[in-house]
Amino acid sequence: MSRIPKRLKAAAAAATATALVALPLTLMSTGASAAPTHVDNPYAGATQYVNPTWSASVEAAAGRAGDATLAAKMRAIKNQPTAVWMDRISAIAGNADGNGLKYHLDQALAQKQGSTPIVFNVVIYDLPGRDCYALASNGELPATDAGMARYKSEYIDPIAALLGDPKYQDIRISATIEPDSLPNLITNSSEAACQQAAPYYREGVKYALDKLHAIPNVYTYIDAAHGGWLGWPSNAAPAAKLFADVARTTSAGLASVDGFVTNTANSTPLVEPFLTSPTLQVGGNPVKSSSFYEWNDDFDEIDWTAHLHSLLVAEGFPASTGMLIDTSRNGWGGSARPTAASTSTTLNTYVDQSRVDKRVHRGAWCNPLGAGIGERPQATPSGYASSHLDAFVWIKPPGESDGASSEIPNDQGKRFDRMCDPTFVSPKLANQLTGATPNAPLAGQWFEAQFRTLVQNAYPVISTTNPTTPPPTTSSTRRTAGTRASPAPSASPTRVAQRSAAGA
C-alpha cells in the first residue's frame, strides 16, 4: 500500500514504529477515538465537499438561463465540489458574501457518506500586502508589522482553531496556501509593492504552514502559479528553491508541505493537444519561439506540474509530493476550439491556429472571454504519471469574478485593475486588448454572464445525460516529461513578468 502518511515518512521510520508500539491497546483495537491517519493523497477514495451556496447560485442561474440546453448543463454541474475562500477575516465567521468556516465544516460532516472520507477544499488568502502585482484582489491587511500581527492572531489562529476542533477530525481538509504570493516574489520583485510585501509573504506562509500542518487531518498545498507564469527555467528553478526555502523555515521543515496547487483561478489549459512538441520546427523555428509561448516550454499544466515536481524533488521534497491542478476554468471548448493542428507554414499562424488557449497573451488573467469549464474534479487522474497528480480540483468557483471591469467602491481593499477592463490595451500583454469579459463585478462576486460562457465553452463538454460521470480525458497525445529543451540563449527572455488570476 502506498498510503503511507507523508509526515510519518518524513519522520524517522524507527520513531514511527516506536510510536505505534506505544499506542494504548484500546485505541489500537477499536480505533474509535483515534485521529485519522494522514494519508499520502487525501483525495484518493474520498468524496469532496459541495458548497451549498455555490450550488444555489448555479441553480438560480439555470432558472434564468432562458435556454433549456444551457440550463440543463448548469444543473448537471451544480453539485460539483468547489473550494471555500477565506478571503478576509470576516469570512471566518461569515459575512454578507457567504457563510462562515464553521458552517461549511458542519455541512461537510453532514455530507460525509458513511466511512467514505470527504475532502473539504479551503483557500487561505489574506496575506499582508496581498496581490502585490495587481489591484483587483488587494486585501484588507497592509504589508506592515501591524498587518502581519493581525494576519497571525485574527486570521490564521482562528482558522487553525476551527480546523483543529476534534469534531472535524474526520474531514480531510485541503488548504490551498496563499495564491500568487510566492510566485510574485519570483517574477515581480522589481515592483515596489512586491518588495514591501516579500518578507511578510515568507513569514505569513511559514506561519500558516506551521499552524495548519500541526493538525493531522489538514493537508497543505502551496500555490505554484501556472505554466504561463513560472514555466521558463529562469523562473521555475528559483520558484522551487523559494518554496523549499520557506518550507525549511517551518518547525517541520519540508514535511510541513503535502503538495502544490497550480493554475489557481487561471485558465492555462490542462493539455494543448495539437502542440505536443515545443521544439517542432515551423517556418524554420521551434513552436516554443512563437509570440504566444515566448520560449517557454511549458505549454500547459501537465507540462508545468511535471516540470515543477522534478525541480521540487531536486530541492529535497519527497517524491510523494502531490500536485493539484485547478481545472475550473481551463476548458477552452466551444466553436473556437481547433480540432487539428494548423497546416500553416508561418510560425505564429501555426501556433495561433493550433492552440486551444484563445487568450491574447498568457498573462491575461482577468475574466478571460472564451474560457470554459475544464475537467470535472477527480482524484488521481490517470495518464499523467510524471505530473504526480493528487487530483483535479475546482479552486476558483466558476462564475465568481476575477475583478471589476470598472471602479467599484468596497470595504475589502479591492481596486480597479485595468487588466479587467476589456477596452484597455495593456503593455503587460504585448500591447493588446485585455480580452476580459465586460461588465464584471468585484473579484469574488457572482458574475452570471461569465458563468454562462464558461458552461457553454466547457471542455470536456458537459453531459446532460449522465452528469455524474465525467467524460474521459484526452491523454493519448501527451508528450513525455523530460523532452523539455533549454531555451535558445540568445532569445530566451529573462524572467517575464506575468501573473495569474488567482487572486485573480
Q: What is the DSSP string of 228-279?
A: HHH-SHHHHHHHHHHHHHHHHTSTTGGGG--EEEESTT----S--TT---TT
Residue 504: CB minimum distance to ligand BGC, A:
5
Q: Which is nearer to ligand BGC, 85 or 200 (CB)?
A: 85
Among 143, 244, 275, 443, binds ligand BGC (CB under 6 A): 443
Rounded to a whole number of angstroms, the minimum distance from the CB of residue 48 to ligand BGC is 17
Nearest to 493 by CA among 296, 361, 298, 347: 296
CA dihedral 168, 169, 171, 174 (to 10 degrees): 100
Q: Is 379 in the site for ligand BGC (CB under 6 A)?
A: no
Q: What SS3 class is residue 500?
A: coil
**Burial label, 381 (beta-carbon count in 10 A; 0-12, 13-18, 19+):** buried
Instruction: Pick the stretch among 16-24, 70-78, 394-402, 430-438 that binds ligand BGC (CB under 6 A).
Output: 394-402
Catalytic site residue from 87, 126, 180, 297: 180
Query: Is residue 85 involved in binding ligand BGC (CB under 6 A)?
Result: yes
The letter for the amino acid at 214 is: A
Residue 230 near residue 182, CB atoms below 8 Å: no
Whichever of 286 and 398 has its CB closer to ligand BGC, that residue is 398
Among positions 190-249, residues that touch ligand BGC (CB under 6 A) are: none
Any bridge partners for residue 400, and if so which? 446
Segment interacting with ligand BGC (CB under 6 A) among 224-232, 345-353, 358-366, 392-400: 392-400
- Considering just the CA atoms, what is the radius of gyration of the chain in Å? 22
Residue 298 binds to ligand BGC (criterion: CB under 6 A)? no
How many binding residues for ligand BGC (CB under 6 A)?
11
Closer to ligand BGC at the Cβ: 141 or 236? 141
| Interaction pattern, residues 126-145, with ligand BGC; x per rule: CB under 6 A | -----------x--------
87 binds ligand BGC (CB under 6 A): yes
* Burial degree of 339 (CB within 10 A; 0-12, 13-18, 19+): exposed
What CA–CA distance (Å, rounded) separates 60 from 45? 31
CA distance 341 to 501: 28
E-only strand ranges, 237-387: 259-262, 281-282, 285-286, 322-326, 378-379
Residue given cell 496581490 in the structure block: 131
Separation of alpha carbons 178 and 125, rounded Å: 5
Residue 457 CA, chain-centre distance (Å), reads 20
Whole-angstrom distance, CA of residue 395 vs CA of residue 328: 7
Q: How far is the CB of 307 from ligand BGC (least distance, A)?
A: 26
**In sequence order, what are the residues at sequence separation of 6 or more whose Cβ sits closer than 8 angstroms to the Cβ of residue 480?**
386
How far is residue 393's CA from residue 476's CA, in Å, rounded to a whole number?
A: 21
* CB of 84 or CB of 351, closer to ligand BGC: 84
Work out how close the CB of 403 gets to ligand BGC at its nearest, in angstroms, rounded to a whole number.
7
Nearer to ligand BGC, 176 or 290 (CB): 176
Catalytic annotation, pick one of 131, 390, 402, 421: 402
Nearer CB in complex with ligand BGC: 107/321:
107
Q: Least distance from C-beta 477 to ligand BGC, angstroms?
A: 32
**Can you tell me which of 129, 278, 444, 487 binds ligand BGC, judged by CB under 6 A?**
444
Active site residue 258: no
Nearest 5°: phi and psi at 433? Answer: -60, 150
Nearer to ligand BGC, 91 or 312 (CB): 91
Which residue minimizes CB distance to ligand BGC?
444
* Region of 32-40, 245-253, 324-332, 397-405 interacting with ligand BGC (CB under 6 A): 397-405
**Cell 471548448, residue?**
333
Give the nearest distance from C-beta 243 to ligand BGC in angstroms.
Answer: 22
Smallest separation (angstroms) from ligand BGC to the CB of 437: 14
Our finding on whether 441 is near ligand BGC (CB under 6 A) is no
Q: Which of 140, 258, 375, 402 binds ligand BGC (CB under 6 A)?
A: 402
In whole angstroms, what is the distance from residue 277 CA to residue 289 CA?
12
Whether the CA torsion 83, 75, 70, 406 is positive or negative: it is negative
81 binds ligand BGC (CB under 6 A): no
By CB under 6 A, which span of 56-64, 203-211, 301-309, 393-401 interacts with ligand BGC? Answer: 393-401
Distance of closest approach, residue 406 Cβ to ligand BGC, in angstroms: 16
118-124 and 378-379: which strand pairing?
unpaired
Q: Is 402 designated active site?
A: yes
CB of 451 to ligand BGC, least distance (A): 12
Shortest distance, CB of residue 144 to ligand BGC, whole angstroms?
A: 20
Which span sits near ligand BGC by CB under 6 A: 29-37, 304-312, 348-356, 395-403?
Answer: 395-403
Spatial distance between the Cα atoms of 195 and 2, rounded to a whole number of angstroms = 42
CB contact at 8 A, 40 and 5? yes
Q: Per CB under 6 A, does 400 bind ligand BGC? A: yes
* Of 129, 331, 487, 503, the one binding ligand BGC by CB under 6 A: 503
Interface residues with ligand BGC (CB under 6 A)? 85, 87, 137, 396-397, 400, 402, 443-444, 503-504
For the annotated catalytic residues, the residue numbers are: 180, 402
